[in-house]
Each structure stands twice: as C-alpha cells, then as structure tokens.
Amino acid sequence: MTRTKTVKLSHYVENGFKSLNAQHYGEVDPGFNPPKATKIPKYKQKRSRLTIEATKQLLEFVDTKAPSHIRNAIHIAISTGQRVGDIAKMKFSDVYDGHLHVTQQKSGGKTKLAIPLSIKNPLLDESLGEIIKRCRDNVVSQSIIHYSKRIQGGRVGAAVSSRNISGSFSNLVAKSGIEYGNETPPTFHELRSVSARSYMEIGVDIQSLLGHKSQRVTERYQDNRGEEYTYIKLGSS
C-alpha cells in the first residue's frame, strides 16, 4: 500500500473512531458517517461572453501583436463561425468554385458546408476570400493555418494544431487587457458566438453557417448573456 493510500485510510479510521465516541456521548445521531456526510462543493464555471465591443478591442491588439498564423486563425473563425478543430484542418484544396468547403468533425463528417468566399463579417475589413489569399504567403503549405516562421515546436509550413491555436488565443486575451467580468476568460470557441451575433445584423443564415440542426442551439450562440444592451428600434411613424 502506498503512503498516500495509508494516510487516507488512517484519516477515515480516525474519523470513524471520533464518530463512534460522538455517538456514544449523544453528540451526533446513531449511524452518522463522516465521510458520507462530507460533500465536496460543485462549482459550475461560466465562460465569459465576448461582447462585440470587446472583440473590436481584441482585434486591434491581435492585428499588431499576434503571430500571423494566430491572427489568420482568429480572422477565419470570425469570418466562418467554425470550430477551432475544423479551422486547424482547413486546406487550400478545400477552396474551389468560389467557396470554402468544410466538413465538420463534430458531426462525424455528416455536416458539410460550402461557405462563399465573398462573405464579409462586419467586424473585419476583408472578405473570407481575401483572408485566405493573405494566408497564402511565401511558405509552401497545404494548410490554410500554418507556421510562417520557425518557432519552438512549430515547423515552417506545418499545420498549427487546434490546441496551439486555443492556447495562443487565451494568452492574447490575457495580455490584451479586455474586460470580461469575474467569470472565466473567453476561449477561442467564443469567436463562434461573436461570428453569429455580428452576422445576425446583416441577415446571414446563421443556423446554416454554424451547421446547427436545431434553431434552439443557434439561439444560444446569439445570446449575449446580458452583457450588451438591446437597442429598441422605433418603427416609422
């Protein structure tokens, strides 16, 4: 038996004897079991929602401070509304007939999207096609999101993993100084919601873009969680 298991066993035995003594003197009810009575509190962390204004501030920071492969990944995410795993798998060969073709991994390959290269998110100065064209740098690579410079753990031209993209995004959020309240910092996945909310204003079919089968799921991405005012538009009189 390991020392850790021995310590834990001794702890339970000690508590057991204390419980028996307490029951003997009438301090607790008969049959009281300290280990079972001890409940570990459960904390449900809520990921912070990125407001549109905070996203604009983050983009300003990203455009000047982020490595090109992370900047490209962030712009692709906002432009397409796709998950980080699908973005990491995107290849230049997926671009044809005026569309970026995406097979979503989460659906097991059942959800296939063709996103027009002409689509332009209101938060960005470039269309999807222009962003992908920018990704075609002087480096030979099959992957849209790839390393343009040699860095530790990354070979020039190699695809950037979803884990690296997510981790780099979290570092940028921490350094950017954007405010997100007392909740957990927004993750890269939050850009999917940003994309949905920003496209909603210009009438893009968000449910199809995100690849959702249910409108209810799409509505969760559109929800700003009370962090933004809803401006009431007055009808024409």
Q: Which residues are catalytic?
A: 83, 106, 189, 192, 212, 221
CA distances from 79 to 83, 101, 166, 214 (A): 12, 14, 17, 21
